[in-house]
């Protein structure tokens, strides 16, 4: 299944991004094949409503879970309505490391 990790850059060695709506990149990992697909966030510098629009990107890409630092009110509503599980991770680390923690079951589902 697909998990999305908010990222500062397009690659697995890039640092994880704490913010959801304004994350520069969304990296989608397939937990079986471990293949990844990086999507640039076109709304990162939008004036408003970036949370729901970011959630739309995840919905459109078929993500079932997301690993991020924090999620604003509107984005939270959108992700929950879409049935996407939310995991919070706040220490600095690479996207690859975050994915490994997720795969190893080390993260707690917040929503």
Partner 1 sequence: MKKIVVISGKGGTGKTIFTASLTDLIPGPIGIADCDVEAANLALLLEHVDVRSRPFSGLEKARIIQDLCVGCGLCSINCRFDAIECQDGEYIVDPVHCEGCGVCMDICPEKAIVMEPMRDGTIYLSRTSKGLMSHAELCAGSGTSGLLVDQVKKEITGEMRDEKALIADGPPGIGCPTISAVSGMDAAVIVTEPSVSGLHDLERLVRMARGFDIRLFLVINKYDLEPGMSKKVGDYAATENIPVLGCVPFDPAVVDAVRKGIPPTRQDSPASQAIRSAYDKLAEMMELV
Partner 2 sequence: MNIIVASGKGGTGKTLVAANLAYALSDQKEVLLVDCDVEEPNLHLFFPQGGYELPVTTPVPVFDTDRCTACGKCAEVCRYGAITVLKEPPPLFFEKLCHSCGGCEMICPEGAIHEEERAIGKIRFSNPRDNIILISGILNEGEVMAPKVIAAAKSYAGGHPTTILDASPGIACPVVEAMQGADYCILVTESTPFGLHDLALAESVTRCLGIPSGVIINRFSEEDDQVMDFCRSKDLPVLMTIPFDREIARIQNTGGLISEGMPAYREKFADLFSRVTSAGGFSK
Interface residues with partner 2 (CB under 8 A) are 43, 46-53, 55-56, 59-60, 74, 77-78, 81-82
Using CB distances below 5 to 8 A depending on partner kind, what does residue 31 bind out of partner 1, partner 2, none? none
42 binds partner 1 (CB under 8 A): no
Provide the CA 92 distance to its chain's centre, in angstroms. Answer: 15
Phi, psi of 75 (to 5 degrees): -60, -40
Residue range at the interface with partner 1 (CB under 8 A); choices 29-37, 56-64, 66-74, 102-110: 66-74
In 3D space, the residue among 87, 3, 72, 8 whose CA is nearest the CA of residue 40 turns out to be 8
Instruction: By CB under 8 A, name the one of 31, 70, 85, 101 that touches partner 1.
Output: 70
Q: Which of residues 10-39 bind partner 1 (CB under 8 A)?
A: 19, 22
- Could you list the residues that contact partner 1 (CB under 8 A)? 19, 22, 45-48, 70, 72-73
């Amino acid at each position: 299944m697909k998990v999305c990790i908010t990222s500062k850059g397009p690659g697995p060695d890039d640092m994880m991004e704490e913010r959801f709506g304004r994350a520069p990149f969304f990296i989608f990992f397939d937990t079986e094949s471990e293949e990844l697909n990086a999507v640039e966030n076109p709304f990162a510098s939008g004036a408003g409503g970036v949370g729901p629009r970011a959630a739309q990107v995840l919905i459109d890409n078929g993500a079932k879970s997301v690993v991020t630092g924090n999620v604003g009110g509107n984005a939270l509503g959108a992700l929950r309505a879409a049935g996407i599980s939310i995991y919070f991770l706040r220490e600095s680390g690479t996207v690859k490391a975050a994915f490994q923690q997720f795969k190893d079951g080390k993260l707690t589902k917040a929503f």
